Amino acid sequence: MEIFGIWIASLLTLCIYSFLYRDNPFYRFAEHLFVGISVGYSIVITIHQGFIPLAWNPLSEAMVALGTQIRGEATPETSEALSGLFKIFPIGIGLLFFARLSPRQAWLIRYPIAILIGFNSGIAIPNVLRAAIFEQTHGTLTPFAQMHAGSMSLDDIIGAVFIGIGLICTLIYFFFSVEHQGPVGWLSKIGIAFLMVGFGAAFGNTVMGRVALLIHRTGFLINDWLGTIF
Amino acid sequence: MKRQGPLALCFLFGIALIFTQFSPHSVSQKLYEEVIDWGLIITPFALVLAVVTLIETHITRVRRRTEHWQYSLVVFVGMAVMVLIGIPFGPQNSIVEWLYNNVQVPMDATMFSLLAFFIASAAYRAFRARTFEATLLLVTAMIVMIGNVPVGDLAWNTVLSWIPLEDGASKARQWILDIPNLASRRGIILGVSLGVISQSIRIILGIERSYLGGGD
Amino acid sequence: MLEKLMNMDRRLIFILVAVVVIIPTLIPIRLPTRVSEPAQKLYDYIEELPPGETIMLAFDYGPSSLAEPEPMAKAVLRHCFNKGVNVIGVTLYANMPTLAHGLMQKIAAENDAIYGEDYIFLGYRPGALQVILGMGNNIASVFETDYSGTAIHEIPMMKNIKNYDQIALLLDLAAGSSTEAWIVYANTRYGLKIAAGVTGVIIAQMYPFLQTGQLVGLMPGYLGATEYEKLLNAPGDGTVGLNTASFVHVLLIGLVLLGNIAFFIHRRREE
C-alpha cells in the first residue's frame, strides 16, 4: 500500500509538472482533484476539530446533565455541565451562516460576521497599539539611550543611526499630506531607497523559499519514487 | 433590523473586548472569556460560506456546460470521497490519511513548487536595472540570494581572500536584513498598524460598514 | 543572436532549472555553513531550558510550503526530546493536522519519546485569534481533548499546565502571518515568549520583531534549518536542500546578469 501511495503521489506530481510544457488534461485533472480532496479534508477537519468539540460535545453533555438534573440525580459535575446550555446562543448565531443558502434570508449572515468583525476589531486596538506601535518605536529609540550611556560599539551606533534615518525617511515617503518637494522630496527619495533594499531582501529570500519547494519535490521523485524502481 | 442589529452587535462585542482587557475584575474577566468562547464557537460555521460558494461555482459550470466543465465533476468526486469517509470515521481514519498523504500533500506541494520555474523565468525576463531604484532592488536581491547559500561564502573566501573579511557574502546579507531592511519594514509595520487601529475604530463605531455587503 | 537571447523560450529556462536541481540531488555535496545570530539565539534558549520544561510548537504552515518548516520541526523536536524538554504541538492551519501529527509521531519514535509524557499533539481549532487568546486563559477551554480525543486532564504531561504561564516558549513554524498574530496576542497580552522558523517569503518582515526582543530567535527558511542542524551536529533535510539550492541560486544570478547584459547592449544599439 505504501509503494502504491508513492506511485500515485508521483504520477500526480508529474501531472502537475506537465503544466510547465503547457496546459493539458492531465494537469487539469490533477488540479481539480486537488481542489476536491483538499476542500473535503477541510470540511472533515472543521467538523471533527471545530464543530464537534466546541459546539456539539458541550451542548450534548449539557442536555444529558439536564436530564439527570430533572430526574433528581444531580452531582457537582452535572451542574457544571449544565453551563453548556448557554452555548445554544453562539451556536444559534453560527447556524445563521446557513442563511447563505436562501437568497431572501441571506442578510442574516450579517449577524455572525458582525460579531466576528467586532471581535477582531476590539481585540486588535489595544494589542496592535502596544505590540506594533509602542514596541517598534521603543526598539528604534532604545539604542540611542544605550549610545548615550556609552555601552555600544561603533558598528552598533552606525546601525542604530542608519535604522533611525531609514525609518524616518520611509515614514516621510508614506506621508502624503505634504507635497514631496524640496527637503521632504529628498528625504522621501531616501525612503524609497530603503524600501527598495527591503523589497530586494524579500525577493532574495523568496527565491530561496520557492527553490526549496522544488528541491523538496525533486527529492521525493528521485529518492522515494525512483527508489521503488531501482 | 437588517443593518442596525448587526451594527449594534459589532459595537457591543468590540467595546466589550476593549474594556475587558483593561479591567482585572473577575466579572470583566469572565465576560472576556465568554466573548472568546463565543468567537470560538461561531467561527467553524463560517466554513459554510466557502463550501457553498465553491459548490455553486462548479454546479454553474456543469449546468452551463462551460469549457472544461467535466473537471468540475472531478472536484465533486474528490470532495465526496473525503467527506463520506471522513465525517463518519474522522480524520484519523486510514483511508482519509492515505488520501491526504498521497493525493493532497504531494499535489499541494508540487503546485507551489512550479513557482520556482516561474520565478526563474521572470527574473531573467523582467529583472532589469532600468532605474536607480530598480538597480538597488536587483543588487540587494542578488547579495541576499548568494548570502543565503553556502556557496556564497565559499566563493568569497576563495576568490576574494585578499579582503580581510571572512564569510563576506553571509555577513553582507545579514547586515542588509538587520539594518536597511529592518528600517523599511518597521516603517511599513507602523503605517499598517495605524491603519488597522483606525479601521478597527471605524468598524466598531459603525462608520465602516462595507463588511455588511450591499442591499438594505 | 541578441534578439534570440532576450527572447529565450521560457521552457529552456525551466529545463536549466530542473537540471540544476536534479544533478545535486543525485550527487549530494556538503559545503561549509556558518550559524547566524538569530538561529544561535533560539538554539541557546532551548539548550538552557531545564528538563521537564514545556515548549509549544505551532505548525502554522500547510502542505504547500512544508519544504522549509519541516526540517526545522524535525531538528527542534530532536533537540527537545534529547534534552527532556516536553513539546505541545498545535496548528492554526486546517490542512495541517494529519501532517503535523505524523511528523511528531515519527520523530518521537526515532528518539524514544512517549506520547502523553514527552509530547502531545492538540490538533486544530478554527479561528486563529480566538485559539491564541483562548489558550492564554485556559488551554483546556479550547482543546478539551487532544487530536486523538483523549481528555487533556487525563494526559500526564498536561497535569501542571493550565495556560501560557507554564509554557517556556512558543516556536511558530510559519508560512504566513501567524507569527505576527502570536506576537501581538500571545506575547503582548500574555507575556508568552515567541520564536519563529519561517519560510523564505516572510523572513524579511521578521527582523523588526527580532531587534525589539519580541522574537527570542529565528530560523530563516532552509538556511535556518541548516543552521539548527549544524548546531545539533546532525545534518538533515535542511543541509541537503540548502547545498542543492546553492546551484539554483548561482544559476538564477547568472540568468539575471545575462538578461541585464543583453538588455544594456540592446539599449545601446537602439540609442
Residue C65 has pLDDT above 80, yes or no: yes
Q: What is the pLDDT of residue A40?
A: 97
The reply to whether B11 and B72 lie within a common domain is yes
Contacts of C138 in chain B (CB under 8 A): 33
Rounded Cα gap, residues B199 and B197, in angstroms = 5
Number of neighbouring beta carbons within 10 Å of residue C116: 14
| A14 Rama sector, left if φ>0, alpha if ψ -120 to 50, beta otherwise | alpha
The reply to whether B132 and B174 lie within a common domain is yes
Chain C neighbours among B 65-84 (CB < 8 Å)?
Answer: none
B153 contacts C253? CB cut-off 8 A = no
A218 contacts C66? CB cut-off 8 A = no
Mean pLDDT of A64-71: 87
Q: Which structural domain, as residue segments, surrounds residue B10? A: 1-88
| C134 touches B at CB < 8 Å | yes
Residue C3 has pLDDT above 80, yes or no: no
pLDDT tier for residue C226 given thresholds of 50, 70 and 90 = very high
Rounded Cα gap, residues A193 and B184, in angstroms = 9
Mean pLDDT of A169-183: 92
Nearest to C199 by CA among C221, C217, C222: C221
Q: How far is C82 from chain B (nearest CA, A)?
A: 28
Does a structural domain hold residue B211?
A: no
Task: At C202, list the grid cell.
Answer: 516572510
- Chain A: residue whose CA lies nearest to C184: A131
The reply to whether B26 and B109 lie within a common domain is no
Does a structural domain hold residue B121?
A: no
Residue ending a domain, choose from A101, A116, A131: A101
Give the global pTM. Answer: 0.94
Chain segment A134-174, per-residue pLDDT in tens: 999 999 999 998 888 877 889 999 999 999 999 999 999 99
The reply to whether A2 and A97 lie within a common domain is yes
Mean pLDDT of B204-212: 92
pLDDT tier for residue A12 given thresholds of 50, 70 and 90 = very high
Mean pLDDT of A35-51: 96
The reply to whether B54 and B99 lie within a common domain is no
Residue A115 has pLDDT above 80, yes or no: yes
| A47 Rama sector, left if φ>0, alpha if ψ -120 to 50, beta otherwise | alpha
Contacts of B172 in chain C (CB under 8 A): none
Contacts of B28 in chain A (CB under 8 A): none
Chain segment B30-82, per-residue pLDDT in tens: 999 999 999 999 999 999 999 999 999 999 999 999 999 999 999 999 999 99
Q: What is the pLDDT of residue B216?
A: 67
Residue B214 has pLDDT above 70, yes or no: yes
Chains contacting B (3+ CB pairs below 8 angstroms): A, C
Number of structural domains in chain A: 3
Q: What ipTM is given for this predicted complex?
A: 0.93
The reply to whether A170 and A224 lie within a common domain is yes
Rounded Cα gap, residues C161 and C259, in angstroms = 58
Chain B neighbours among C 149-188 (CB < 8 Å)?
Answer: none
The reply to whether B133 and B98 lie within a common domain is no
The reply to whether A109 and A65 lie within a common domain is no
Rounded Cα gap, residues A47 and B89, in angstroms = 12
B177 contacts C203? CB cut-off 8 A = yes
- A73 or C168: which leads in pLDDT: C168
Q: Which structural domain, as residue segments, surrounds residue A130? A: 105-149
Contacts of A97 in chain B (CB under 8 A): 45-46, 48-49
Nearest to C193 by CA among C220, C169, C213: C169
| B34 touches C at CB < 8 Å | no
The reply to whether B156 and B111 lie within a common domain is no
pLDDT tier for residue A77 given thresholds of 50, 70 and 90 = confident
- A70 or A6: which leads in pLDDT: A6
- Chain C: residue whose CA lies nearest to B125: C259
The reply to whether B80 and B106 lie within a common domain is no
Chains contacting C (3+ CB pairs below 8 angstroms): A, B
Residue B117 has pLDDT above 80, yes or no: yes
| C129 touches B at CB < 8 Å | yes
The reply to whether A142 and A162 lie within a common domain is no
Q: How far is C224 from chain B (nearest CA, A)?
A: 10
Least confident range of B106-110, B176-180, C68-72, C257-261: C257-261
A13 contacts B10? CB cut-off 8 A = no
Rounded Cα gap, residues C8 and B125, in angstroms = 9
Residue C117 has pLDDT above 80, yes or no: yes
Mean pLDDT of B9-24: 92
The reply to whether A88 and A125 lie within a common domain is no
Residue ending a domain, choose from A128, A149, A170: A149
C22 contacts A205? CB cut-off 8 A = no
Residue A95 has pLDDT above 90, yes or no: yes
Q: What is the pLDDT of residue C189?
A: 94
Q: How far is B172 from chain A (nearest CA, A)?
A: 11
Does a structural domain hold residue B188?
A: yes
B18 contacts A203? CB cut-off 8 A = no
Least confident range of A226-230, B5-9, C142-146, C198-202: A226-230
Number of structural domains in chain B: 3
